[in-house]
Chain A
Amino acid sequence: MKFTKEEVEHVANLARLELTDEEIKKYQLQLSDILKEIDKILKVDIKEDDILITTTKNSNVYITDNYSELLTKEEVLKNANNKDLDYIIVPEVIE
């Protein structure tokens, strides 16, 4: 099964990536290879109710309901390219 050009463009759009035609061709092949590998995994018969979700066998690992380790506002804003005194600013995104 080969990835179509449209499928690659769709996946790229979900990640907000702009791809050149050459890149699209490259990813068509690479993504198809990945899917082939995943097909192998999907063929393995496993019980649905016992899926492995983490590599640890621990369960019920909790924190208690107290706040701590807060960053200062200056630290929060420090790595942003665009900011004012209170907010990180990005180009307008409207739903």
Chain B
Amino acid sequence: MLTPTIGIEVHIELKSKAKVFSTGRNDFQSLPNTNVNILDLAYPGVLPKLNKEIINMGIKTCLALNCNISKTMYFDRKNYFYPDLPKGYQITQKNTPIGTNGYLEIEVDGKNKKVEIEELHIEEDTCKSIHKDKKTYLNYNRAGVPLIEIVTKPCIHSSKEAKLYVEKLRETLLYLGISDVKIEEGSMRCDANVSLSDNDTLGTKTEIKNIGSISHVAIAIEKEIKRQEEILNSGGKIVEETRRFDDKKMDTVRMRIKETGNDYRYFPEPDLPYVTVSEKEILEIKNNLPILPDELRVKFQNIGLNENNIKTIIANIDICHFFLKLKLDNNLLITACNLLTGDVLAYLNKNNLTLDKTKIEVSNFEKLVKLLVNKEISNRQAKEIITIMLDTGDDVKKIIKDKGFSNVTDDKVIKEIINKILNENQESVNDYKNGKDRALKYLMGQIMKETKGSLDPSLVQKLLLESLSL
């Protein structure tokens, strides 16, 4: 029986303002070759200097992924000659990675599994190459952008586990606030090492690069497992090679290999001095860590949100951050969450927006929730008001006034309306008293029509029955 073993390497582009070893600008959306300084182009005589913020982001990531943090570090040169790297080497951390021996917990078929993390290191990105018409166009904006590489141990055993790990990692890093983690835009990149074996020794592995979306992670691994199974079952041998995922063929294809192992001629980077990190610094960063998904899940369960809503709200970070700002009692929060994951999310999806791009305000939304829970407005009205709030940011009271929602909850006032309708429809009243249930529905309809549907139907029915039994 062949068992697959998978290790995953993920590269994350950090969203700092400057680059990792230069004061070049780190911005994905700038025009080509406008974020560059002499360091990024490796002009003669320039020397790198480390951006402090990158070490802080590295420590944050280590803490979120339960890694041991190196107290003393240096950087290493990985040498290779390629136009995307003007220096002729990439500065990375081979011997003293900032983090080691961590883990991330995932839930597989109802059971928790710790995906072990071998190491986490800081390095610089290369420039972006665009291949077109037998030429390569170079954009150095990305050269020197800070990366964190996170490498798991070979401890993943199915494409499903691999996908769950990548999803959980993305979610964790997003809430950590260190990266956009958009796999489609390249701020998160996934490589997978896959091997098969029928005993305790690992089989020969292949590496799959260029996996362009989270759903492709599972597909690429699945296809590679199948390919290797077919070779091994027909008595063949796996060749150690780098493959890439082709999203047109939806399969892995063989890729030419640049250099391997020793050819990189690693040695310590002599242009950067040692970096030391104190317990005090680590503690300070730890005390200021944002609330992460695992903790949020428990918090939301305690409020009493249902599992579906918890999943939805965590998957939409803008809505989640908005929800966390609400100062309401738990029963009101449940209603608030229903509105946010229902009407609000539907609006955002329809208009292709995030919540921070709309005009909705926390205190205004709180008022709306209170009015709804106190039955001063109906669900239908709430829905209408939310859309206006998202569009204009208008105060909820103003919207109610503008819309002419009568906003009546006073029993006395409602009873007056009921009596008026009963007087006008004596025949129906008699029908009801003679046992015709349909007459009740007719009277309800008349009252709702009179008040343009602004009253809470259950309250009206209660008061109507009281009046009829007099």
Q: Please give the residue numbers on chain A whose beta carbons come within 8 Å of chain B beta carbons, in ascending order.
A: 14-16, 51, 53-56, 58-73, 76-77, 84, 86-95
Do A61 and B131 touch across chains, with their CB atoms under 8 A apart? no
Is B31 close to A, CB under 8 A?
yes
* A71/B135 in contact, CB under 8 A: no
CB pair A71–B136 under 8 Å, yes or no, is: no
A16-B81 in contact given A53-B270, A61-B273, A89-B136 (Cβ < 8 Å): yes
Query: Is the C-beta of B176 less than 8 angstroms from some C-beta in chain A?
Result: no
Q: A63-B23, A68-B18, A87-B130 are in contact. List 16 more A-B contacts (CB 8 A).
A: A14-B81, A14-B265, A15-B81, A58-B273, A61-B49, A63-B52, A65-B18, A65-B52, A67-B17, A69-B23, A70-B36, A86-B139, A93-B82, A93-B136, A95-B255, A95-B258
A15–B139 Cα distance when bound, in Å, is 23
Residues 393-426 of chain B, each 1 if its beta carbon lies under 8 Å from chain A, else 0: 0000000000000000000000000000000000
Residues of the B chain whose Cβ atoms lie less than 8 Å from the Cβ of A87: 32-33, 130, 137-139
CB distance from A12 to the nearest CB of B (A): 11
Report B325 CB to chain A, min CB distance, Å.
Answer: 27
Interface size on B, residues (CB 8 A): 55
* Least Cβ–Cβ distance between A77 and chain B, in angstroms: 7
Main secondary structure of the interface of A (DSSP, over half): loop
**Chain B interface (Cβ within 8 Å of chain A)?**
16-19, 23-26, 31-38, 41, 49-55, 74, 79-83, 129-131, 134-140, 255-256, 258-259, 263, 265, 268-276
Min CB gap A40→B, angstroms: 18
B-side contacts of A16, CB under 8 Å:
81
Closest approach, in angstroms, between the C-beta of A70 and any C-beta of chain B?
6
- Which residue of A is nearest B83, CB measured? A90
Complex Cα spacing A73 to B255, Å: 33
CB-nearest residue of chain B to A87: B137
Q: Closest residue to A86 on the B side, CB-wise?
A: B32
